[in-house]
Structure 1
């Protein structure tokens, strides 16, 4: 009877899990059959099984294309910017928020920094244009006001990657602190009290209690982030690219859109997308293996 009651209770949990399972089955696993068209000269009128099979022809074309290394360089550099600059930001902000003792002030700050996450990336890019344009942009007006010259932040290639990275930092840093604040909430307060008795200051408590407590969370999120290493955000890239910065702004995501949607090269664009997924999978496996060798749990 007791087993039946436990199963009945777990049944509701499985029912709550059902929408998530259906989402992954319908939008993640079933579409995986579509990667077969990367081995075909796919024609929508002929369908998946009626199209001509060409083997690895699209892969050979992709890796021999002169634009491959340009796309790889641009995408990799943006990904490195994201890992090096953006990834630590939620951790730093969460640690700073954790040090606040006035609860109403802490909650107010949290609310303010969460808000940008709910803005569409279109809105974020539009705000950037308003702030940084040379035609009356606030930032350029301030530069002129202190005696400088206007800077074409939106068109000069050297400013493209910093602009894109800063947009992501502003939009997602606050919301990214949620997981780390939850991990910090699980730290035993007695550890801090014992450290104070031993004479540890705030910095010593941070290094020897707080950071070790959330180290596993940081490692797991880093591994998961590496799975999307080459995902730079299609909408943001498409909105930020123009004729003057295309050489540094063209990435795999926009290339898939151009070759697949605009030019109708469905098989070729699928090859590019599959390459991105394979790179992400390899990075996750390598990072997880390194984490386990260093004594962390990893993701599997």
Structure 2
């Protein structure tokens, strides 16, 4: 029974890891992995000394912080609210409503954003015009880029993120709530002293995993939203790897950039796990 899963990880996760060799080579497709010239850390040095490095790091870091601060707590909040709903039919309806955006592709999400925020025919700017206000160029403005990106992630993924927390809430012993009610605890006290402590370990584990993807802001969404006017705040590591590796054919250089991002993610996971253990949590290993 384990064999299909093991084969999947072996073929699609571990075997492709040999590809990181080209980060230390001047890779030429015709020469292959073992025929290309070995250049050591040359591509890493070039990347770290490039003026684009700090721009990419700043943009990726800010978007990652936005996701941690504004997106990560929302699935917990919605799960807690849904857990308090007593009418099962209404609860199922709300769950379905918030799950649906997860199955919408980023292309459609970006299309909806253009429909709402376009400077010429966007719904929001039409409303501003009707109020006698000047239209705002949301899609070309660097000031609005990060807000729109974070809002898209919240709308699309918040409902899907509640599934794990609702599953954790389902495992809370109902007798704890009964005992709390007998002691005079209201709904807020029950949530604070029973519900949240019961799912604390789940929150910590998911936060550690989220930190591991700290620099992974996603490619498709950013790629579709970036344009020459907001590139200064919108270009991130993922889109930079595509533009240099695929568009310009710098395979070794783009692999070095991707490897840097992965190493940083691994370090953050280890540090976050150690910090969680110091506070008495189990962590992920």
What TM bracket, shorter-length normalisation?
A: over 0.9
2:238 is aligned to 253
Farther off after superposition, 148-157 or 277-286:
148-157
1:120 is aligned to 105
Root-mean-square deviation (Å): 0.8
1:154-193 → structure 2 map (5 Å cutoff):
154-193=139-178
1:129 is aligned to 114
Runs of 5+ unmatched residues, structure 2: none
1:4 is aligned to none
1:279 is aligned to 264
- When normalised by structure 1's length, the TM-score is 0.94
1:144-293 → structure 2 map (5 Å cutoff):
144-293=129-278
Partner-residue secondary structure (3-state), 1:261: helix
Q: C-alpha distance in 2, partners of 1:161/1:266? A: 29
Q: C-alpha distance in 1, partners of 2:244/2:217? A: 17
| Cα deviations by residue, 1:196-226 (Å, 9 ceiling, x for unpaired) | 1111111111110000000000000010111
2:51 is aligned to 66
The CA deviation at 1:147 is: 3.0
Partner-residue secondary structure (3-state), 2:199: helix
Runs of 5+ unmatched residues, structure 1: 1-14
Give the 4+ runs in structure 1 shifted more than 3 A.
none
The CA deviation at 1:195 is: 0.8
The CA deviation at 1:23 is: 1.9
Partner-residue secondary structure (3-state), 1:45: coil
The CA deviation at 1:144 is: 2.2
The CA deviation at 1:291 is: 0.5
